[in-house]
Structure formats: C-alpha cells, structure tokens
Structure 1
Amino acid sequence: MVFNSLTFAVFFAIVLLLHSLPFSWRVKKVNLLVASYLFYAAWNPPFIILLWISTVVDWWAANRIAQASNPWRRRAWMLTSVCLNLGMLGWFKYGEFLLANFQALAATVGIDYQPPAFDIVLPVGISFYTFATMSYTLDVYLRRAEPTPRMLDFALFVTFFPHLVAGPIMRPTELVPQFEQPRRASMDQLRFGLALMTLGLFQKVVLADGFLAAPAEQVYDNTMAPGALDAWFGTLAFSGQIFCDFAGYSTTAIGAAMCLGFAMPDNFRFPYAAVGFSDFWRRWHITLSSWLRDYLYIPLGGNRKGEARTYASLMTTMLLGGLWHGANWTFVAWGGLHGLYLSVERWLRSRFGGYAPGPLALLGLGLFTYFLTNITWVFFRAATFTKAWEVLRGMFGFSVDAKPILAGVHLLAVGVIVGGIFITHWLMRRRTLESVVARTPPLVLTIAWALMAFAVLIEQGTGNAFIYFQF
C-alpha cells in the first residue's frame, strides 16, 4: 500500500476514525498496531514474519542486556540482536549481490562456478526497520536508554505505519515515550498534518512522477549516449525527482503521524541550499546521517583518534552508507564520492577555517555544492558504470555527435521545476516551514492548499512506489 493511492486514503480515513472513538488508550494502540500490520501486509503478507522476528528478538535481547550483570553476557545479547538484524538484511538484500561478485571473482582465476538460482524478493523497507530496531538494543547496551516496559509499545514503535517502510528512521527514545499517554491531534495539528500530507503528495505525484520521472528515464534508461544538454537536464531531473519523491514521502509520513497526535523528526531541511557536504548531510536524509554518525562513525573512532583515523572512519561510513542504499557497486561509488567530498572539505576547513564568505561567495559555494551533488546523482541513478560514464562524458562535453533525446517541453519543465526547487531551498535556507506558515495570511495558505490538492487529484497518481522503497 502506497501513500499515493486510493486504497491508502480509505485506510487512513478508517484509522483516523477508530483513533477518534472513545476507546481505551490500550485499545487504540492495538488498533494502530493491527493497522500497521495490514499496511505492511498489502505488499507481501508473509514478510510480516520478519517484523515479528525482529520485534521479539530485539525486545528479548534488550531486556537480557539490562538484566545481565557481567560484560560478556551483555555483549552476547547485543551481538545476538545485531547479527540477527544484519543477517536478515544481508540475506534478503545482499545475498544475490555477494553471490554474483563471488562468481565473477572465481571466473578471474579460471573457475567456472555456476551457482543455483538465487531468486529472493526484497522485503519492502527492510533497511529502515532493521536500523530502527537495532538502535533500540544498541542504546540499551550503551546505557543510553532503558528497555521499554511494555512490549505493545515496542511492537508499535517497530511497525508504526507512517515510518515503517521508508523512514524517517526513528529511535525508540523519540517515539516510544509518546505511546505512554493517550494522544489525539488537536484541530490545528489535524489541519497542519493534512496540509503536510497534501504537500508531500504534491511533491511525489505531481512533481516527481508527473514532470521529472520521464526526462530522467529517457536519459538514463536509453541505449543512446546523451549529449551535454540531455545529460545535464536528465541528471537535474533526477536530482529534483529523488528529492521530491523521498522528501514527499517523509513529509506525508510526518503529516500522517501528526493527524494521529504523534510527532516525528524532520528528515529534510532544504538540502539543495547546502554549502559544503557536512551541511548537505545535516539537511539530506537527516535521520540516516545521524544514525550512521552515532552507530558507525563514532564507534569507528570519529574525530577522536587522529587525522588518519578520522578520514578512514569518514570514508568507511560513507562507503557503507552507499551500500545501504542498494546492492550495486554504483551505490558504493556514490557513497565514496560523498566520503571524498567530506574529507576534502574537512582538510580545507583545517587550513582555511577562519574564512567567512560574503553573500555572493556563499551563493557561489552553494551552487558548487549542488554541481558536485549532481555528479554523485549520476552513480545513484545509473544502473551500471557503463551508463554512468556515458552520462558523465555527455555532461562534460565529450559526446559531441550525440543525437537529441529530450523534447523541448521536457527541457522547459525540468528547468522551471528544478530551478524553482533550488531557489525555494535557498530562500528557505535559514527558515522553517512552520515559521513561514505562521506569517502567511490564512487565505493564501488555503488557496495554495487547494491548488496542490487539485493538482494531485487531476494527476491521478498511478500508484508508483516511492524510490526509497527499494532500499
């Protein structure tokens, strides 16, 4: 079940109705838990078993960690949780990838290894909920949190449908305390939550699917090598598509939770207004970058054990972060580029830390950051390195005899929409959506809301899954 479908609209209306009825708080939580299982079962019912296994094992392991008196028992239960979660993730997401690479490695030394068919379906959202549940046992092991006293609350945390399949990646300390007392949205929360859902669906259905997906597909899924104009506009289209698709999901999820009376953290803060890549990762997929920082970068040594160790930790974190996105070496290259950018930026800051850019220099640095970000998007979008090199050659003017791919209407749509996204992000760089809404006349807000809702309805989304569902 996807947010941009009539099925979800009916489902969400029923959930809201049940949540507003005068049931006990425990019954309402059970209703939300059942609804979340139904939401997930709409894709593939048997994969609910994975949710149950992850929930039960992590709940049990965290309690055993808290009760254990000696270090090796605590470590054993923590490793049980981590190995189970990473084992499921590795089997379903990376099993075929590892087998194919082993086969290729064997071929290089003259061994013709023909593995059996490895046809495994990737469970939707497994990367997101395994990270969420692992953070629970790791926080208990690191004494950052106490075990959740009620299994119902923990099970609801794992499966809560707004964040279940594509984030934001919640921490138990952010959501579980909200389950302790009855929660119901006020009228202001309900209105703002519905408005956020409308904004998120507008980004996904109208902008990402309606305008930007086609030109990106025509460039990246085409057998023809693109010229400079097509390569740049196809990549810009994808930069807008991936933002509108993923930020659209996060915005819709946050709005859905708000309609039920729950708060979820921001996942995007106008990332294309970033100046530098440390700033970019404070604005893009914030819950993933903070997870990688807290559970990977810092345990690897962070910036506490010398410059060489810092750069190694940074590169390792970003390479694994790239692999988290998909079982393909192109994702590793994407993560490696971000690690390289962050390393170079860190080195420059150590030499020129006192430099304070003026407004024009700041804008120039922002444009340069966006330029480099689009280079990384080539590897994120291209299915193979061959296609990535084709697009990069086009972007830098080496495909001089390439035939045109994109029609003029696509070039215009990409230029207007992506240009509008960049300008909006820059104008909102030091603002929040809430502060702007608070200062905007209600009539203007109502008209904007109505226009977005109308655009979503007339576009009549095809039910396309969000891009990040594959991760």
Structure 2
Amino acid sequence: MLFNSLVFLLGFLPAALVLHALVERYRPEWRLPVLLALSFVFYGWWDIRFVPLLAASIVLNWLAAGLFLRTRAALLIPLAIGLNLLVLAAYKYLNFFADLANLIPGASLPHADIVLPLGISFFTFHHVMYLTDLRVGRAPPYDLVRYGLYIAFFPQVLAGPLVRWSEIMHQFEERPYLRSDAAERIGRGLMLLCVGLAKKVLIGDPLSVTVNPVFQAAAEGKVVTMVEAWQATLGFTFQIYFDFSGYTDMALGIALLFGVVLPQNFDAPYRAASLRDFWRRWHMTLSRFLRDYLYIPLGGNRRGLALQVAALFATMTLGGLWHGAGLTFVAWGAAHGLGLGAGLLWRRAGWPMPAMLGWMLTFGFVMLTWVFFRATSFEAALAIFKGLFGLAPVGSGFRWRTIALAAAIAILGPTAWEAVRRLPPSRLVAVLFATLFVVLLLKIGDDANYDFIYFQF
C-alpha cells in the first residue's frame, strides 16, 4: 500500500484514524496492540507472503534480547545481529554475490528468482540499533507489543526514517489526544501529509518524464546527447530529493496524526557548502546510523588521520552497497567516501573555502555522483557522462521548466517542516490545504502512480 494511492488516502488512513481515536478514548490499553495490528495490515497489503517474515523477525529478535538479559551471553547479540544481516543478504544480495563470483573464469552461478520484501533494509537496521544498544546497557527491555510496534510502525516501516528506540518508545506510553497541543499536532500532521504528497505528485513524478527515458536509452546502449544528459542528471538530482523528502514529510505527518513525533530526515541538503554538511542534511537518520554504528566502531576520528580517512571510505562504500545490490551503488558510495576524505584533508590543511565556491563544488559533486546511483550499469553511466562532458552530439529540446521550479524550491525555499511550523492556524490556511488535497487526489486518480524511489532499497 503506497502513501500516494487512493486506497491508502481514502480507505486505510481514515479507517485507521477512526479506529485509533475510538480505542484511545474508550479502551486506551488497546491502543498499542491496535496500532501494531494496523501496521501489519498495512505491510501485508503489498504482499501478504512477507507478513510472516516481518513477524518472525520481530519475535526472534525480541526473544534474543530477552535471552541476553537473562544469561548475559557475550556472543548472543553479535549472533542475532549477524542473523539479521544474513537474512538481509539472502534477499537483497544473493544475485549480487553470484555476479561477483561469475567474474571468476569458469564460474557460472545462476540467479535466484527472489522478490525483495519492502522495508527489509530499514527494519533490519532498527533491530541492529536496538540490539547494539541493549548489549552495551543503553537500551531497556520491552514487551513484545511495544518492541513489535517499534519495528513495524507503519508510517516508517517501508522507507524510514531510521528511528532510534530512545526517540519513540516513550511516546507509545502517552495519551496523545489528551495533550494540550493535540489539535495543533493533528493540524500540522495533515499539512505535512499534503506538502509531502504535493512534492511527490506535482514535482517528483513530473521530473521522471525528463529522467527515465534518457537513462533507459543509456541502458539500451543508445547515444545520449549533451542536452539529454544534463536534463536527466539535473532532473534526477531534484527528482530523488522531492520523491524521498516527500515520502518523509508524509511519514512524519501521518505519525503525528497518531500522536508520534518522528525525527527529521532532510534539512535543505542542496544548500550545503561542503560534502560533510550535505550528509548532515540528506537522509539525516541514515547518516546518523552510519556514523554511530559503523564509522565510530571502525575507529572514527580517535585513532589518527589515516584511519579516519579509511573509516570514512569504508563507511560510505558500505552505505552505497546498502542502497542497492550493484557495483554502481558501491561506486556511488565509494565516491562519497573519497569526497569526504578529501574534504577532511582540506580542513586539516587549514586552507580556506569560500562559501559560494564550496556550494558549487558540493552541488556539482553530488549531482555527478547521482549518475552512478541512477544508472543501471557502468556502461549506461558512461553514456551519460559522455553527454555531460561534451563527448556526444549537442542535441536540443532541454525541458527546463519543471527542473527550474524544483531547483528554486529545493535550494531557496524552506523545508516542509519549517513552512508548516510557520503557518498560523486560520480558516484560510485550512481551506487552502483542503483544496490542495482535493487537487492532489484528482491528480493521483488521473495520472500514472509512481512508486517511491526508496522503496526498492
């Protein structure tokens, strides 16, 4: 079930809100079990075959946590984390590893016909965060319902944000509709839902028309002109931002309707003046996860400059692999690792970097590396790069209007969270958002409904 589908917006979400409100008022002790059941219905709507996988994942990790607390067996948590990563690898990376093995002369491993369960990367990382913190004594034990809801809470189970247990578990104990700011939370939640949906439907999806045909042509081995290459590269730069940040805004808004505040995931990343600043603004919860659960354990900045640069490179390369089972994703992550390392060396040398130059270099680097992220192969990426650097025919017909609008909003405009917080409560604002919501529903019903890009990760 997609957030940008009529069945969710006009069916599941209103029914879930009514049921949640009734339970919250008359049977508040049922609130968490009902939310967990709704989350499983939401997840199973896509493919009911994977509901047992999600349920087993929750139960087995919860049992492992309880067994560790009783026995304090040192190897139990690493084994549980390893099992989580093994399941993720089996679903997501089996064919990738087969392709790597087939590079060996004489090897011929077949591809497995495996459907990737939605959200498996995200709920696996939630398990890893909790178990890691439990092992070092930071996380307390929880009952099965609360732990299950932490993993499966439907606004964030499919594509994040990545939520630490400490950010959400205490909120499950609240009576959200008895809070003094309950009405304001609901209003802000509805506005975030509309803004996120508008990002996806009015900007992100139209940009796909400028992006998909060009990358498809590159994948088919066709020549990509300079105009097409710049159109597709700039288009994807903003498409992925509006698609993913739009999803996140909707997730945050939906969670607010149920009384839960999720962490921010984007903070105007295309205004960043350095690559380090970009990763503090882009997919912020993933950046935080990579820093705390990978970069710091690898040594971070505590063991000398050489190891710090190596840890940055390893962290970002593995982060690229997490995004997709392909060498192009590895190359994308490795490029960012090299870029972050170069920025670290520049700062250590004490050299100045004017803000405008820093922004231009950062935006250009991020834009060019998105080619690896979007291209289906290195050959397709090379075709795009040839066009970008003038090694192909010039071409004509640059579709600039949607790209220019997206660039202005992404670079100059406020974030959705800032905009929603600034708007004062008024009837006019309510009417405007209600009208926008109706327009978006009509747009969804009239046009092709694109999946969110990050659902494939």
Give your verdict on TM over 0.5.
yes
Alignment-mate amino acid for residue 102 of structure 1: A
Alignment-mate amino acid for residue 370 of structure 2: W
Q: 1:226, 1:392 → 2: CA distance?
A: 9
- Flag the 1:444–1:258 CA change in 2: closer, same or farther, 3 A: same
Describe the superposition over 1:305-332 as per-residue Cα deviations: whole angstroms up to 9, x where unpaired: 1111111111000000000000000000
Q: 2:167 maps to what in 1?
A: 174
Describe the superposition over 1:116-167 as per-residue Cα deviations: whole angstroms up to 9, x where unpaired: 451011111100000011111111002222222x211001111100000100
- Flag the 1:319–1:16 CA change in 2: closer, same or farther, 3 A: same
Kindly state the Cα deviation for residue 63 of structure 1 after the two structures are TM-superposed. 2.1
Conserved 8 A contact 1:301-1:313: yes
Residues 231-380 of structure 1: matches in 2 within 5 Å?
231-352=229-350, 355=352, 361-380=354-373
Q: 1:6 maps to what in 2?
A: 6
Kindly state the Cα deviation for residue 444 of structure 1 after the two structures are TM-superposed. 6.8
Describe the superposition over 1:19-51 as per-residue Cα deviations: whole angstroms up to 9, x where unpaired: 111232231211111111011111111211221
Kindly state the Cα deviation for residue 228 of structure 1 after the two structures are TM-superposed. 2.3
> Matched residue of 2:299: which SS?
coil
Q: 2:238, 2:435 → 1: CA distance?
A: 20
Instruction: Return the TM-score normalized by structure 2.
Output: 0.93
Q: 2:135, 2:172 → 1: CA distance?
A: 22
- Flag the 1:127–1:436 CA change in 2: closer, same or farther, 3 A: closer
Alignment-mate amino acid for residue 7 of structure 1: V
Alignment-mate amino acid for residue 49 of structure 2: P
Conserved 8 A contact 2:279-2:287: yes
- Flag the 1:181–1:411 CA change in 2: closer, same or farther, 3 A: closer
Q: 1:453 maps to what in 2?
A: 437
Residues 31-50 of structure 1: matches in 2 within 5 Å?
31-50=34-53
Say yes or no: does 1:15 pair with 2:1. no
Q: 1:346, 1:447 → 2: CA distance?
A: 49
Q: 1:101, 1:346 → 2: CA distance?
A: 32
RMSD between aligned residues: 2.0
Q: 1:104 maps to what in 2?
A: 103
Q: 2:435, 2:360 → 1: CA distance?
A: 30
Q: 1:467, 1:87 → 2: CA distance?
A: 24
Structure 1, unaligned runs of 5 or more: none
Q: 1:423 maps to what in 2?
A: 412
Kindly state the Cα deviation for residue 299 of structure 1 after the two structures are TM-superposed. 0.5
Kindly state the Cα deviation for residue 449 of structure 1 after the two structures are TM-superposed. 2.6
Kindly state the Cα deviation for residue 53 of structure 1 after the two structures are TM-superposed. 1.9
Alignment-mate amino acid for residue 433 of structure 2: W
Describe the superposition over 1:355-405 as per-residue Cα deviations: whole angstroms up to 9, x where unpaired: 4x6xxx423321221111101100001001011111112111111x3544x
Task: Name the count of aligned residue pairs.
Answer: 446
Conserved 8 A contact 2:95-2:111: no
Q: 2:207 maps to what in 1?
A: 212
Describe the superposition over 1:260-311 as per-residue Cα deviations: whole angstroms up to 9, x where unpaired: 1111000111110111011111100011110011110000110101111111
Residues 430-445 of structure 1: matches in 2 within 5 Å?
433-434=417-418, 437-438=421-422, 442=426, 445=429
Kindly state the Cα deviation for residue 82 of structure 1 after the two structures are TM-superposed. 0.7
Say yes or no: does 1:468 pair with 2:454. yes
Alignment-mate amino acid for residue 275 of structure 1: A
Alignment-mate amino acid for residue 449 of structure 2: G
Residues 215-230 of structure 1: matches in 2 within 5 Å?
215-222=210-217, 223=220, 224-230=222-228
Kindly state the Cα deviation for residue 62 of structure 1 after the two structures are TM-superposed. 1.7
Q: 1:26, 1:160 → 2: CA distance?
A: 17
- Flag the 1:334–1:286 CA change in 2: closer, same or farther, 3 A: same
Kindly state the Cα deviation for residue 432 of structure 1 after the two structures are TM-superposed. 8.0
Kindly state the Cα deviation for residue 448 of structure 1 after the two structures are TM-superposed. 5.3
Q: 1:201, 1:447 → 2: CA distance?
A: 17
Instruction: Return the TM-score normalized by structure 1.
Output: 0.90
Kindly state the Cα deviation for residue 421 of structure 1 after the two structures are TM-superposed. 2.2
Describe the superposition over 1:337-360 as per-residue Cα deviations: whole angstroms up to 9, x where unpaired: 11011001001111126x4x6xxx
Q: 2:155, 2:281 → 1: CA distance?
A: 20
Q: 1:309, 1:235 → 2: CA distance?
A: 34
Q: 2:404, 2:423 → 1: CA distance?
A: 29
- Flag the 1:288–1:240 CA change in 2: closer, same or farther, 3 A: same
Alignment-mate amino acid for residue 213 of structure 1: S
Q: 1:414 maps to what in 2?
A: 403
Give percent identity, aligned residues only.
37
Alignment-mate amino acid for residue 231 of structure 2: F
Q: 1:135, 1:465 → 2: CA distance?
A: 27
* Comparing 15-24 and 246-255, the one that deviates more: 15-24
Q: 1:294, 1:434 → 2: CA distance?
A: 27
Conserved 8 A contact 2:36-2:149: yes
Structure 2, unaligned runs of 5 or more: none
Q: 2:27 maps to what in 1?
A: 24
